Amino acid sequence: MSDTFFTASPHWTWFIIPYFFIGGLAGGAYFLAALVEWFGRPEDRPVVRTGYSVAFWGAIVSGLLLTLDLGRPLRFWHMLFQSERFPHLMFKSWSPISFGAWAILLFGACAALSMLGARAEEGRSQGALAKALSGGTVLGKLVAGVGGLFGFFVAGYTGVLLAVTNRPIWADSPWLGALFLVSGASTGAALLTLLGPGRGASERSLKWLASFDSRALVFELVILIAFMVSLGSVARVWLSVWGVLLLLGVVGVGILWPLRLHAKPAGAVNAALLVLVGGFLLRAVTILASSGIEFHRVAEGAMR
Amino acid sequence: MPEAMGFFTDTTVCIGCKACEVACKNWNELPSEDGGLRELSGDSYDNTRRLDGIHWRHVRFIEQFHGAYEGRWLMMSDVCKHCVQAPCLEVCPTGAIIRTEFDTVVIQSDVCNGCRDCIAACPFGVIDINHVSGTAQKCTLCYDRLQVGLEPACSKACPTDSIQFGTIAELRARGQKRVEQLKSQGVDAYLYGADPGGPLGGLNSFYLLVDKPGVYGLPESPRLPTRNLKPAGALSAASAAVLGLLALVGLRKQRMDDMAGTTSGGTA
Amino acid sequence: MGSNMAECHPVAFRWPMKAKLNGAKLIHVDPRFTRTSAVADLHVPIRAGSDIAFLGGLINHVINSERWNSDPFFREYVVNYTNAATIVSDDFKDTEDGDGAFSGLVQFTEPQFWPYNGFLGRYDNVSWQYQRGPKGAGPATKDLIARRAGPPFDDLVRSLKPGPAQKDPTLQHPRCVFQLLKRHFSRYTPEMVEQICGSPKDKFLKVAEALLESSGRDRTSAFAYAVAWTQHTYGVQMISCCALLQLLLGNFGRPGGGIMALRGHAAIQGSTDVPTLYHSIHGYMNAPSALRPHDSLRDYLAAETTPTGYWGNFPKFMVSYLKSVYGDAATAENDFGYDWHPKILGDHSHMAMFSAMNDGKIKGTVVVGQNPATSLNGTATRRALRQLDWLVVKDNWLTESATYWYQAPEVKSGEVKVADIKTEVFFFPSTQIAEYDGSYTNTQRMLQWHSYAAKAPGDCRTDSWFYHNLAKRLKKAYADSTQPRDQGWKNVTWDFDPDAGEEPLYPGEISARKVLREINGYVTGNPAQHLPGFAALKDDGSTTCASWIYCGCYPAWDQNLTARREPDPPGVPGAHLKWGWAWPANRRVMYNRASADLQGNPWSERKRWIWWDPNFVNPPDPKTGAATPRGKWVGYDVPDFGANKAPDAKPKPDGIGLDALSGTDAFIMKGDGRGWIFVPAGLVDGPFPTHYEPHESPIENLLYKQQMSPVHKVWAAGKEWNPLAAFGDPKFPYIITTYRLVEHYLAGAMSRWLPWLAELQPELFIEIGTGLAQEKGIKNLDWVVVSSPRGQIRAKALVTDRIGVMNVAGKRIHHVGMPWHWGWAGLSTGAVVNDLTAWVGDPNVSIHEGKAFVCNVERA
Ligand SMILES: Nc1nc2c(c(=O)[nH]1)N[C@H]1C(S)=C(S)[C@@H](COP(=O)(O)OP(=O)(O)OC[C@H]3O[C@@H](n4cnc5c(=O)[nH]c(N)nc54)[C@H](O)[C@@H]3O)O[C@H]1N2
Ligand SMILES: Nc1nc2c(c(=O)[nH]1)N[C@H]1C(S)=C(S)[C@@H](COP(=O)(O)OP(=O)(O)OC[C@H]3O[C@@H](n4cnc5c(=O)[nH]c(N)nc54)[C@H](O)[C@@H]3O)O[C@H]1N2
Ligand code: SF4
Ligand code: SF4
Ligand code: SF4
Ligand code: SF4
Ligand code: SF4
Ligand SMILES: [Mo]
């Protein structure tokens, strides 16, 4: 029995699961947007702007979910400032939940700025700052660069956060961060694929997204396997309803099927939808399977 | 700064009377689950089952029998281990969890915001949310009593001195003596968590056990959560890089195709 | 053995655990593997109700063992400190000859005026007496009574002195106690023990050897028992069997020896010292009875006084008691009001009274500090309560006894209609112990004064307030009655109001101190002059003392010794003489003269307790000023012996009381100064303990034709509310016992209402072995129906190997057990286990047989 089996569940469920999903997706989207901001072509701008707004709204919703999940939501700021010694900052470089809080905050800030720039670009806001940030300016590129990195950070840290505990599955492997990060990218791409056209994304941008998505999915599958292998004996925990969901939902619906669709022409939209479903399920099963141990513990008790 | 204080729990003299459990609730004014209206657990005489936000002490009952009347009945009063290197304290993002002048680990309820990361971090499943306060709670080693020179309520109530309170140095010596006594009687007893060189730098609430830790619901070798920080971080960064490449490769390929496209156009 | 000390006396259990850490061996003999067994060095399973066979087996093993016969200690102790050498009358016939019955068994017929004694049969114990020499000369008792001789009553007492008992110190005489004992227990072999008790032979022998090893000059062993040894139709005999064993092992009057009676309710020891018992008055004096020759004070004294030994002072205790009851009205002329004192008609114990109640013989009842609706044969008890005109319940909670008339199972089921219950129920909210001053008397006979910790909420009143004001009203009511039967009430002194300057705790509250002063006693006419101890008591009315055994706990107006809290420093033997006060005379170990050998030297260094110092210089005689001879008993404890009585002192020829005993007669409360191995008087069911089966048992008595005790008690026999299973009734194949859990307290009002305790044991359960569970297809936590001839109840199954199948009399018998704390009131509720128990009990003390009966278990 792994040492992680003697721990208690933090009851992270219906706020945290969507938070991990949306955070990842927002992060992934921002990263891709930033990438294109730097290396893309003019015709990719719509995708970039879509990425920015996804990131912005994603950051807001994430922050909200995270706060609502707290036992004492009004004390959210205790994660940022020392409650007894305000305004001293509260920051632990070794505690993902601590630096994660900061990451979302800064991620949100960048997303907001980039979003502002995007609006200027579309001529929807006029402010000086907006102008300074709009399409392709140095400042815009800078903000996007920093924000993009934060994006991936937010997408990945959630997995690292789970790893830096003593819970079964989570703490039994170092791969969760990578897994969530990649899934963040694939889901991000998927969402851009879906929202892009609405903002007039070009055929080619979409093709690029699709091709990226399928590559990311393959990579995700590789990491998922690595993750499973790294679990070793603990893997047996997956012998549960969550394991089935992982296989059918995440791998089947979320990875393999989309890959098949990507292979066909014009399958991209359906593929994207499935990827989103898969990405959500991935977060759900990893979190719920771990709490499954509770029952395991109790049953063991009753048997004694 | 006073000496490190803690508990030595000699499970071989525990009679499972639960006085410690009740004394703790009494002193700390903790409620009962469902106001006391529970169902029989069927797990021997253990009906509170685990440590959580309103059970800061918990007595385990382990029946080890092979046939009627043949066997033994182990009992153990469990509590926060007040780890010298405390995982809960390590991860807490609000600084709510502190180490006191008695080298004990305490959650400040007025600072905690209920993020529950400490619950996941504790290798012993000690902490949980107290739904009355909405914050994470656990044994404080009676910090309030220690500050005024009182013994913790639970050890004070323990009729058989299964729970002994004192300075860690003294308790370790006592524990060793007891282990030797039992060994001389042919019982293979050992101390769990008394070794400062051991896991988590030693536990300031350590135990005398006569069976494997797992039997008592204790991990063989509890570890700090941050052990996973570097590898997990590195792998994430690496995969981020890979993704970056994949994306760029995509863009680049499109560029290539463009060029190929224009030249062919030119020959037309 | 006979208790589950860790769960029922957890705080006291601290000391056995300390002893264990110091190398003592802890043994637990119990039908279940309990939390006590868990920390014991050895657990021996035993079938409920078979302890006499087990103890008898130990006795047989001990007296035939090599060690016991070779170590001179045992012989010296047994020959000189017990009645082993005494020769018993030729008329005595043992169970060996009577197939399980002793000589003197006669029919018992219930008297018409009180047909609730329940005896099956009765022993006439004339044949159980010692072989005695001729009685000394002097006036005959009946003449002295006729002449109304005394006070002083010395002549009366002297006239009671029997001739000297004959002895054979070689223990060879065929009719000496030791030889009779040897024969009586000869059939209690280890094999027989295994057959009767289901205790594996090897484990039994381990116990026997452990006892022998740790008894002798430098070692003592002790037994601790509680109601596992009382709740039987021969409970008292179980305890006397253990006492007998301890006498043989030389374990009385010595530190670390003896038998510890673990008492129940807090201060229940006090409730028998200053009794709430029907059959005794203060200090274990028998209550005057209509069935005994108690017509006049002198008849009573003649019938109740043992002329030799300390009880020879009985008249002093009785007269001082009467003075306390009737004060100035009690004079030598009116025999100190003896004729006003109520007399009992027979058995007025719990089950007897409730049987009478069931027959409509009782109009009203006051229930204080008790919850009868759940604590004994519930169905019958609640039926009895329904026959009352009025019922007063004074409690801290609305207990089952206060709510039976609208919430009991039979009412819920519609079997009984609320409308048909004529009883008017009054409820008085009560204070808790922490809300008033008073004293506890604990298991070690120790009085400890306590002050209130908090004032009671709302309109709660103390029990003393209740009785105090009730008494005052009654006195008023009888004030000008001329009826002879009311003279008692008219003359009772009732003066417990606080003295001027003493603030009552509550309006109308008594002064608790004043009550203790009255119990301690004072010089008649001068309440401020307390008595220093019971040696000062007189039989002429010049002393007033409610309870002679407590005399000395409050030796001076300003000296409440029960309030002392001064422990001995660590390292010393620790009699803790300055912690509280223990009766008698603050002695901590009774009969401690036996801790020294014949010459008065400690048996050994390790076991030194009190000893004779021949060179001790005694102060001159206070009255005459004449020099007194040297020598005194000294040591760690208060000697339980004449302080200056030399070990070689001879009995005075015509002496009474202690003067009739020698310097080696350590057991000073006994007429012959000896520990009784053979009990010629005092027990109604035989001079030797004998194995019988419980009233309800699936096993036949392997030792005698006599299946169950021939003289035990059955109340409401043949009544439909007390049906009993015949021997081996196939409908009830299993043995069941009932007991406590550390988490709950008795009928549960003091625990099931408290969330902190309720959550620890939230539901009623039955503990059944894995074997029976398999046979019946019962899984852990399944609901099961448990039935006895009295009724059936539901409970959850707790399947465990801590209880289970036993091999008894060549059969596989399943043993089950239930905690009995539940009822329908409170937070944690459950069925009433006592709806299964029967009204059968012990003939000496009328306690029910709640520990061993039969039942059936089926899946619900
Ligand atoms: N926590 C708690 N403590 C209590 C009480 C309580 O209700 N709760 N009640 C108090 C009172 S009033 C009393 S009288 C005492 C009673 O104290 P105990 O007598 O110790 O209590 P019980 O649990 O009734 O019985 C003790 C044991 O007797 C065993 N037993 C049953 N039948 C037999 C038998 O025939 N032979 C032998 N050798 N063992 C047998 C049972 O398995 C049980 O383990 O406890 C007092 N202390
Ligand atoms: N089957 C089975 N039956 C048993 C036993 C068993 O072992 N098995 N044990 C027997 C024994 S040993 C005993 S002692 C009896 C006990 O049986 P009971 O004495 O009938 O039950 P308790 O719950 O002790 O009742 C005491 C009541 O007094 C109340 N009380 C507490 N303090 C005070 C106070 O200061 N004043 C007043 N007025 N009330 C107060 C409590 O709330 C409680 O309701 O049960 C007996 N019944
Ligand atoms: S045992 Fe758990 S809660 Fe206690 S200090 Fe260690 S990690 Fe923290
Ligand atoms: S729940 Fe409270 S104590 Fe625990 S980690 Fe979060 S803030 Fe710290
Ligand atoms: S030390 Fe205090 S808080 Fe901790 S378990 Fe004991 S009583 Fe409870
Ligand atoms: S109080 Fe002591 S003996 Fe009782 S359960 Fe707790 S640790 Fe064990
Ligand atoms: S309940 Fe009271 S009497 Fe019983 S063991 Fe505890 S302290 Fe002693
Ligand atoms: Mo009792």
Strands (E), A187-275: none
Q: Is the pLDDT of residue B240 over 70?
A: yes
Q: What is the pLDDT of residue C595?
A: 98
Any residues with Cβ below 6 Å from ligand 5, and which? B 23-24, 27-28, 56-57, 79, 139-142, 152-154
Q: Rounded to a whole number, what is the largest CA-CA distance in chain C? A: 85
Strands (E), C188-272: 223-225, 259-261
- Chain A nearest-CA distance from B234, in A, is 9
Residue B87 CA: nearest ligand 3 atom is: 7
Contact A104, A144 (CB under 8 A): no
Q: Is the pLDDT of residue A219 over 70?
A: yes
Where residue B263 falls among pLDDT bands split at 50, 70, 90? very low
Structure tokens at A138: 């140095």
Contact B137, B130 (CB under 8 A): yes
Which residues 31-60 in chain A show a CB within 8 A of chain B? Answer: 31-32, 35-36, 39-40
Residue B97 CA: nearest ligand 3 atom is: 8
Q: Is the pLDDT of residue B167 over 70?
A: yes
Q: Among positive and negative, which fits the CA dihedral C507, C513, C519, C522?
A: negative
Q: What is the pLDDT of residue A203?
A: 84
Q: What is the pLDDT of residue C502?
A: 87
Q: Is the pLDDT of residue A132 over 90?
A: no
3-state SS class at C348: coil
Nearest-angstrom CA–CA distance, B126 and B88: 10
Closest among A304, A285, A246, A291 to A4, alpha carbons compared: A291
- Range with lowest mean pLDDT among A135-149, C604-618, C722-736: A135-149
- Give the residue from chain B lying closest to C40, CA to CA: B13
Q: What are phi and psi of B220, to 5 degrees?
A: -60, -55
More confident site: B265 or C144: C144
- Chain B nearest-CA distance from A128, in A, is 32
Reported as a single tens digit per residue, the pLDDT across C574-593 is: 899 999 999 999 999 999 99
Structure tokens at C669: 């409360």
Query: Closest-lying ligand to the alpha carbon of C374?
Result: 2
Q: Which range, A70-74, A129-133, C210-214, C442-446, is most confident? A: C210-214
Nearest-angstrom CA–CA distance, B10 and B214: 17
Average pLDDT of span C215-231: 97
Asked if B18 lies within 8 A of C14 by C-beta distance, the reply is no
Nearest-angstrom CA–CA distance, C98 and C433: 51
Contact C358, C721 (CB under 8 A): yes
Q: What is the pLDDT of residue A267?
A: 81
Q: Among positive and negative, which fits the CA dihedral C773, C776, C781, C787?
A: negative
Element of type H or E holding C700: none
Nearest-angstrom CA–CA distance, B90 and A96: 11
3-state SS class at C736: strand
Average pLDDT of span C470-493: 94
3-state SS class at C390: strand
Average pLDDT of span A274-295: 87
Nearest-angstrom CA–CA distance, B205 and B203: 5
Reported as a single tens digit per residue, the pLDDT across A271-283 is: 899 999 999 999 9
Residues 6+ apart with CB under 8 A from B20: B57, B59, B77, B154, B155, B157, B158, B163
Q: Which residues pair with B76 in a beta bridge?
A: B60
Amino acid at the residue C5? M
DSSP A187-212: HHHHHHHHHGGGGT--HHHHHHHHHH
The CA radius of gyration of chain C, in Å to the nearest whole number, is 27
Q: Is the pLDDT of residue A266 over 80?
A: no
Residues 6+ apart with CB under 8 A from A189: A28, A29, A32, A209, A212, A213, A216, A272, A275
Nearest-angstrom CA–CA distance, C787 and C790: 8
Q: Is the pLDDT of residue A300 over 50?
A: no
Q: Is the pLDDT of residue C528 over 90?
A: yes
Cβ burial, residue C221 (10 Å; 0-12/13-18/19+): buried
Nearest-angstrom CA–CA distance, C1 and B248: 84
Write the CA distances from C667 to C354, C670, C854, integer angstroms. 38, 6, 41
Pocket residue to mutate for ligand 6, from B12, B51, B163, B164, most atoms within 8 A of Cβ: B163
Structure tokens at B253: 């390929």
Q: Is the pLDDT of residue A304 over 70?
A: no
Where residue A118 falls among pLDDT bands split at 50, 70, 90? confident
Cβ burial, residue A256 (10 Å; 0-12/13-18/19+): middle
- Chain C nearest-CA distance from B72, in A, is 6
Closest among C748, C689, C831 to C52, alpha carbons compared: C689
Nearest-angstrom CA–CA distance, C127 and C122: 13
Contact C758, B36 (CB under 8 A): yes
The response to whether residue C377 sits with its C-beta less than 6 Å from ligand 2 reads no
Q: Is the pLDDT of residue B260 over 80?
A: no
Alpha helices in C280-421 (DSSP H): 297-304, 314-326, 350-358, 372-375, 378-386, 400-407, 409-412
Strands C791-799, C765-768: pairing is: parallel
Contact B68, B77 (CB under 8 A): no
The torsion region of residue C283 among left (phi > 0), alpha (psi -120 to 50) and beta comes to: left
Q: What is the pLDDT of residue A115?
A: 86
pTM, 2 dp: 0.94
Q: Is the pLDDT of residue B267 over 50?
A: no
Nearest-angstrom CA–CA distance, C107 and C124: 10
Give me the percent of chain B exceeding a pLDDT of 70: 97
Contact C803, C815 (CB under 8 A): yes
Amino acid at the residue C643? A
Give me the percent of chain C exceeding a pLDDT of 70: 100
Strands C783-788, C853-859: pairing is: antiparallel
Closest among A275, A260, A131 to A213, alpha carbons compared: A275
Cα C519 to chain centroid, rounded: 21
- Chain A nearest-CA distance from B165, in A, is 25
Q: If you average pLDDT over every residue of chain B, what do you get?
A: 93
Average pLDDT of span A257-271: 84
Average pLDDT of span C408-426: 96
DSSP C2-37: ---HHHHSTTTTHHHHHHHHTT---EEE-SS--HHH
Reported as a single tens digit per residue, the pLDDT across C799-822 is: 999 999 999 999 999 999 999 999
Q: If you average pLDDT over every residue of chain C, what do you get?
A: 96
Contact C789, B88 (CB under 8 A): no
Contact C178, C171 (CB under 8 A): yes
Q: Among positive and negative, which fits the CA dihedral B84, B85, B87, B91?
A: positive
Where residue A294 falls among pLDDT bands split at 50, 70, 90? low
Average pLDDT of span C338-361: 96
Pocket residue to mutate for ligand 6, from B17, B47, B60, most atoms within 8 A of Cβ: B17
> Is cis: bond before C115, omega within 30 of 0?
no
The CA radius of gyration of chain B, in Å to the nearest whole number, is 26
Amino acid at the residue C665? D
Nearest-angstrom CA–CA distance, C253 and C630: 25
- DSSP secondary structure letter of residue B150: P
ipTM over 0.90: yes
Strands C390-395, C424-429: pairing is: parallel
Q: Is the pLDDT of residue A302 over 60?
A: no
Contact B153, B25 (CB under 8 A): no
Q: What is the pLDDT of residue B262?
A: 55
Question: How many residues are given for chain B?
Answer: 268
Q: Which residues pair with B10 in a beta bridge?
A: B208
Q: What is the pLDDT of residue A117?
A: 85
Contact C230, C239 (CB under 8 A): yes
The torsion region of residue C105 among left (phi > 0), alpha (psi -120 to 50) and beta comes to: beta
For residue C14, which residues of chain B lie inside 8 Å, CB to CB?
159-161
Residues 6+ apart with CB under 8 A from A241: none
Q: What are phi and psi of A154, to 5 degrees?
A: -60, -40
Nearest-angstrom CA–CA distance, C454 and C460: 12
Asked if B113 lies within 8 A of A207 by C-beta distance, the reply is no
Protein residue whose Cα sits closest to atom 2 of ligand 3: B122
Q: Which of B41, B122, B236 sits opposite A7 (nearest CB)?
A: B122
Average pLDDT of span C733-750: 97
Contact C216, C222 (CB under 8 A): no
Contact C46, C30 (CB under 8 A): yes
Token pair 């009739």 is at which residue? C660
3-state SS class at B58: strand
Structure tokens at A118: 């995007």
Contact C374, C793 (CB under 8 A): no
Collect all residues from B whose CB is shorter than 8 A from any CB in C: 12-19, 21-22, 25-26, 31-40, 42, 44-45, 47-48, 63, 65-75, 159-161, 181
More confident site: C503 or B76: B76
Q: Which of C13, C763, C765 sits opposite B15 (nearest CB)?
A: C13
Q: What is the pLDDT of residue B248?
A: 87
